[in-house]
Amino acid sequence: MTSILYTLIKTLTELPGPVGNERAVQDWLAENWTAIGLTVERSRVGNLLARVGGSGQRLLIAGHADEICLMVKSVTDDGFLHVWPYYNDSLGQPPRWFVPVNQPALVLGGAIPVEGSIATASGHVLGGRSSKKTHFDWNDWFIDIGVRSRAEVESLGIGPGCAAIWNPPTRRVGRNVVGKAMDDRVALAIATVVAQQLFNRNDLSYETWIASTVQEENGLIGAASLASQERFDLAIALEVGLTGDIPGPDEIDFPCYLGGGPTVVFQDASCHYSRRLSKQLLATAARHQIPVQRAIFQHYGSDGAALMRHGIETALLTYPTRYTHSPIETVDLDDIDATIRLLERFVTDRPVE
């Protein structure tokens, strides 16, 4: 199971799916969910939805397809791409948590994705006043795709409005799996395995559905749209979980850790999640001796908030992840396996009030 799970995660995380351009991810999921036997619906904004089976209250298990990115805002005469963030910038400069420089890039927009590097002036060419800057400005960053003119850039189908992602490979590092887009492709891997294990079973306690939403990173837009067009009674939002098991964060604020099992989150910066559903997840874990953690998260939000706003009772279940919103997001396969087992037991156990 471990090697199969790693291969699935590697496949999903290495697909390009920047905010607003998640098609490669959704196409892959649609094909593979259909192969399981599910009937897949695709909404007008790009969400995917599939019924796994069962009867009773309608339960949605959801992750999101998009990953954080940069947007091309202009092209220089000599072919460099100036960039802008994927979100509504309120600082007027890159925040400390966002560090894409010196990463391999993939620019989407033309017929074929184009490789490059996210760059800034460095090393020996810096000096004088420029060396005394205390922070980057957005215009300090650019993408080098190895051409020499704006015309060459345009011939590749690239221009303002194209999205670019950092693009390192996903790899095993000791006990960890490291790469981009663990937020939130690991959730989609979990949903895929759960659907595969539960499809056509006659012991489901809920009418169970899975979903892959778009534009979570840009205001929970896909989840809000999904909740507007479909009726669900309950939902479990799947997301990355925050850990404090590295130098820097205070364990007082971030008590969860890699290898400790999935985390049930009671509150984040967007909402308070269903206490009843959250306690039910914890009780299910206890009954089946599945390791589980519990937390509240600061400076964090999820699709679950959009589902709650649309009247769907929602719990937030996360898998511990180091270095979130970076090119080296890091997870532990034991945590992923435990999350899958918890969801399978939750869906097949008789609900306990």
Terminal-to-terminal C-alpha distance of the chain: 33
Distance in angstroms (rounded) separating the CA atoms of residues 319 and 279: 17
Q: Which residue has the higher pLDDT, 227 or 56?
A: 56
Instruction: Supply the pLDDT for residue 211.
Output: 98
Q: Is 22 exposed, middle or buried (0-12, 13-18, 19+ CB in 10 A)?
A: buried
Q: What's the rounded mean pLDDT across residues 230-256?
A: 96
Neighbours of 125 (CB within 10 A): 7
Instruction: Supply the pLDDT for residue 353.
Output: 59
Instruction: Say what the pTM is.
Output: 0.95
Does 295 have pLDDT greater than 90?
yes
Beta pairing partners, 332: 176
Does 133 have pLDDT greater than 80?
no
Contacts of 135 (CB under 8 A, 6+ apart): 93, 94
* Choices 3.40.1710.10, 2.40.50.90, 2.60.40.10, 2.40.30.40: CATH for 70-166: 2.40.30.40
pLDDT confidence of 69, banded at 50, 70, 90? very high
Distance in angstroms (rounded) separating the CA atoms of residues 219 and 63: 14
Topology classification of domain 2-67+180-348: Aminopeptidase (3.40.630)
Tens of pLDDT along 146-203?
Answer: 999 999 999 999 999 999 999 999 999 999 999 999 999 999 999 999 999 999 899 9
Neighbours of 19 (CB within 10 A): 24
The number of residues making up the chain comes to 353
Q: SS3 of 187, please?
A: helix
**Which residue's entry shows tokens 């925050």?**
242
Instruction: Supply the pLDDT for residue 256.
Output: 97
Element (H, E) at 2: helix 2-14
Phi-psi region of 225 (alpha: psi -120 to 50; beta: other; left: phi over 0): alpha
Tell me the pLDDT of the chain averaged across its residues.
Answer: 95
Dihedrals phi, psi of 145, to nearest 5 degrees: -105, 15
- Ordered by start, the domain boundaries in the chain are 2-67+180-348, 70-166
- The arrangement of strands across the sheet holding 48-53 comes to 40-42, 48-53, 207-213, 58-64, 234-242, 313-321, 263-267, 293-296
